[in-house]
Amino acid sequence: METRWLSKAELAAWVRLVAVVELLPGVLDTQLRRDAGLTMFEYYVLATLSEAPGRVLRMTALAAQTNATLPRLSHVVRRLEKRDLVRRVPATDDRRATDAHLTDAGWRTVQETAPGHVAHVRDRVIDALTPAQVAQLTEIADALLPRLDPAGTMTGLYHRHDDA
């Protein structure tokens, strides 16, 4: 099979996407560490729990929604437990399963951290784009996500923010 090399325009787009994918996590992580003492992933776990019914999710569901392995998630949740931000409890309907509960302190942390995080996301990403480019970014992501997440593991995460 012959290699379909990238055209000059495709290569220009690709290397820019790689740069964004590499730089953005560090930019977000730096702000959250400075302002809240949290990594981006820790904040993501807290924010995901904050949006769940009753602020509770089964660990397996939380892992799926955050695209984490159970061992990675367990390690992060253990750190969050030490700070009294999350509590793990055996599931009432299945003693083999564990539920992650966002504590009141965790909820306050999300409420206190979210405004600065959103301002940073707006400053570094959203405000650099026109409204048409924001719509294009959504369209581009929608074209890529089925190939990157064919099982739709994270579909609920991003579609819950779509207009009805």
Give residue 21's pLDDT band: very low, low, confident or very high (50, 70, 90).
Answer: very high
Alpha-carbon gap, residue 9 to 142, rounded angstroms = 21
| Number of domain units in the chain | 1
Condensed to tens digits (0 to 9), the pLDDT of residues 48-83 reads 999 999 999 999 999 999 999 999 999 999 999 999
Say if 93 falls within a structural domain.
yes
Condensed to tens digits (0 to 9), the pLDDT of residues 86-110 reads 999 999 888 889 999 999 999 999 9
Other C-beta atoms lying within 10 Å of the C-beta of residue 36:
18
Alpha-carbon gap, residue 118 to 121, rounded angstroms = 5
- What are the residues whose beta carbons fall under 8 Å from the beta carbon of 117, sequence distance 6 or more? 28, 31, 32, 35, 36, 43
Say if 25 falls within a structural domain.
yes
What is the span of the domain harbouring residue 61? 19-128
Say if 91 falls within a structural domain.
yes
Say if 150 falls within a structural domain.
no
Q: Backbone phi, then psi, for 81, in 5-degree steps?
A: -65, -40
Say if 58 falls within a structural domain.
yes
Q: What is the pLDDT of residue 14?
A: 96
**Residue 164 pLDDT exceeds 60:** no
Average confidence (pLDDT) over 17-39:
96
Condensed to tens digits (0 to 9), the pLDDT of residues 126-154 reads 999 999 999 999 999 999 999 998 988 87
Say if 155 falls within a structural domain.
no
Q: Residue 33 maps to which CATH number?
A: 1.10.10.10
- What are the residues whose beta carbons fall under 8 Å from the beta carbon of 67, sequence distance 6 or more? 153, 154
Give residue 42's pLDDT band: very low, low, confident or very high (50, 70, 90).
Answer: very high
Say if 1 falls within a structural domain.
no
Q: What is the pLDDT of residue 15?
A: 97
- What are the residues whose beta carbons fall under 8 Å from the beta carbon of 11, sequence distance 6 or more? none
Q: What is the pLDDT of residue 117?
A: 97
Say if 57 falls within a structural domain.
yes
